[in-house]
Amino acid sequence: MSGRPQRVLVTSPRTRAARRPRRPVTREIDEQTGLGEVYMRSLIRSQLRLGLGVCAALGVVAGGLPLLFGLVPELREIRLGGLPLAWLLLAGLVYPAFVLCGRWYVRQAERNERDFADLVDRDT
């Protein structure tokens, strides 16, 4: 025989010990535990980030037009079809941009909620 000791299998006498039951994430959220708060904060943070992004984009568009007309006064005098360019840009750019951004926001917010629901359902 070689000088190596023989391998010994060590087992616990409590192999059938009761494990702590796994709690579903929805219960964590309902009971407002620390883990549930983390999940909810992540959803709220993603919705807030989305909302701030949409507001910033619309702010650039809506705030950029007066800035553009203030920096380039010649644009104030331009008329197309008898209407001032500023009015046409407001009617043709800003309001449709509001509608499109609103529609995009709703779709993204619903996607965030769907992803959250999938995450919660997957962890149960």
DSSP-derived secondary structure for 17-74: PPPPPPPPHHHHHHTT-HHHHHHHHHHHHHHHHHHHHHHHHHHHHHHHHHHHHHH-GG
pLDDT surpassing 60 at residue 46: yes
pLDDT surpassing 80 at residue 21: no
Q: How confident is the model at residue 7 (pLDDT cuts 50, 70, 90)?
A: confident
Q: How buried is residue 98: exposed, middle or buried, by Cβ count under 10 Å (0-12/13-18/19+)? A: middle
pLDDT surpassing 80 at residue 56: yes
DSSP 8-state secondary structure symbol assigned to residue 83: E
With both helix axes pointing from N to C terminus, report the angle between 95-122 and 34-71 in degrees, rounded to the nearest 10: 160
* Mean pLDDT computed over every residue of the chain: 83
